[in-house]
Structure 1
């Protein structure tokens, strides 16, 4: 089990290059050292090894777990963070802007992404790493725009991680001075925890969801530099308080930039495109 979110570490992920049909399989095997994890009521995860030298050590660990002060014995994301730093250096060396797009399932990430690629085709070179548990459906939609895309299927995994991105980049081989859009698995929890080596996280929220999403899933919105509110063309037909949503988002993250758009009508997309163009014009690592 993934000690962070509970998804299986023994599952197989695969990277599919839609252009060549090449499929790269990868098996995740962890915790051969007898690692044991506990999740507390507040969501804190404690992980430790069963290879204790004596009963006293075990007692000390469990005392830490159930005390008012929780001491984590190790950084469970250390390996991922190391690979993410390597990915970040890879992007920097090639002057590639990498963005991590995250949302709930059905929020409109793929629709926004395909519209963005089509509208900016003469201005930006965009490649895509598409993440889903199964199928290549979204990657095929993106491929129809003419841009380079690879599909990463996570199996039972609920998020992309830095290792998957590293393997995806080997297949994708994006050109220098370009943009890589990483469309993460639909999930408002775990993707926020995993650094992929991106320059910025972008959270996408649709008006068909609750306006309280930012305060229900605060870490996602706190970690994101941008929030894109999509499907605003549906506002006359849904019960969604835009002002409350914006207030909640800024309550969680006062610095977050918010764009209200419709990928169907094109409303508001220029604000998103302007931000993206300015981001590309800056050095990738700032």
Structure 2
């Protein structure tokens, strides 16, 4: 996982609405609600409401988390294996200007301190059982994703990284299931739009909304970015309700943020909710929001190898949209190679090719939405 997941402050715009919901759900508090309870958000919509910021603080036993689409189950052999390992910690009273490791010829289960001064003037090699040694290729390339946790963080063991990941994702998945149950009860289609920054997600979304409005289908949008309300403002210009969720240092939306934003929006029965995630091809892959489908958007300016470089995202997506095809005459992009690469990591992924700017391929996208 990245080193900020679950630890940044998210900011969710408050809009005034008069809906309420009566269903049991969980909160990140130190108490549990055994009985269903209701929340009411009263007052009329204002023409230009001033945003009121709601802060969420998440602390999940550390601030370094690895994202991976297939994470180990708590009851799996991974956990039992790691729990059986002995632990030991040690501290150094003095500061060192560079990271180093220590090898000890004895094992113990208690902590100890090195308070004596020792010199690093001569080159020496330390090995520590907790540190991951990267796999090296013949060219000297370093692969830090080959360990049990499939990531590396200095000073954090593979076992600890897996524990943190399991803790964070299990809590998120519980909330995502709650969201999905709510969406299903309301017969709402919810899509999680994921991509790198600049792929054209917001332009595609605004053009989609303009066309859907002609069919009178109720729509709403949750916009995720680290800062600004720029994208939500663009959506509102189409006449569609939108909530901006600013994640601060966070690099993705999570199920709690979506839960809070949804109850600000109050989407109608049988409606269509688009969630535009933070521009990032890594972190959002691991976090279920309760959506029905993930839709990965890839522009032709990014290169056809992106599905291989960021396989977790494309493995988790049901549809890949190749966007900005109007630029194909001007860029070196092999459409068929891109599709082949995507299907190497996800043989079942569907593919659409379109240009949100010229409108080419938009009808196929609208047909997909109608049949989803």
Give the TM-score taking structure 1 as reference length. 0.84
The 1-side partners of 2:347 and 2:321 are apart by 15
Residue 132 in 1 paired to residue 225 in 2? Answer: yes
Residue-by-residue CA offset, 1:102-161 (whole Å, 9 max, x unaligned): 000000000000000001112222100000000011111100110110000001110000
Alignment of 1:1-286 (within 5 A): 4-7=1-4, 9-17=6-14, 20-31=49-60, 35=62, 56-58=86-88, 72-73=162-163, 75-76=166-167, 77-123=169-215, 124-279=217-372
The 1-side partners of 2:52 and 2:65 are apart by 35
**Which is strand-richer, 1 or 2?**
1
Aligned CA distance change for structure 1 residues 169 and 235 (closer, same or farther; 3 Å):
same
Q: Structure 2 unaligned runs (5+)?
A: 16-45, 73-84, 89-106, 110-127, 134-146, 150-158
Aligned CA distance change for structure 1 residues 273 and 36 (closer, same or farther; 3 Å):
closer
Deviates more, 1:71-80 or 1:136-145: 71-80
Aligned CA distance change for structure 1 residues 237 and 38 (closer, same or farther; 3 Å):
closer
Structure whose CA Rg is larger: 2
The 2-side partners of 1:13 and 1:134 are apart by 10
Q: Structure 1 unaligned runs (5+)?
A: 46-54, 280-286
**Which is helix-richer, 1 or 2?**
1
The 2-side partners of 1:173 and 1:60 are apart by 57
The 2-side partners of 1:64 and 1:84 are apart by 33
Aligned CA distance change for structure 1 residues 10 and 256 (closer, same or farther; 3 Å):
closer
Aligned CA distance change for structure 1 residues 183 and 38 (closer, same or farther; 3 Å):
closer
Residue-by-residue CA offset, 1:144-186 (whole Å, 9 max, x unaligned): 1101100000011100000110111121111111000000000
Residue-by-residue CA offset, 1:195-218 (whole Å, 9 max, x unaligned): 000001000000010110001001
The 2-side partners of 1:147 and 1:235 are apart by 31
Contact 1:12 1:25 in 2 (8 A): no
Contact 1:10 1:27 in 2 (8 A): no
**Partner secondary structure for residue 214 of structure 2:** coil
Aligned CA distance change for structure 1 residues 26 and 266 (closer, same or farther; 3 Å):
same
The 1-side partners of 2:240 and 2:63 are apart by 44
Contact 1:17 1:149 in 2 (8 A): no
How much does 1:73 deviate? Answer: 4.0
The 2-side partners of 1:172 and 1:248 are apart by 38
How much does 1:12 deviate? Answer: 1.8
The 2-side partners of 1:211 and 1:36 are apart by 33
Contact 2:4 2:65 in 1 (8 A): no
Contact 2:7 2:250 in 1 (8 A): no
**Partner secondary structure for residue 13 of structure 2:** strand
- Tell me how large the CA RMSD over aligned residues is: 3.0
**Partner secondary structure for residue 303 of structure 2:** coil
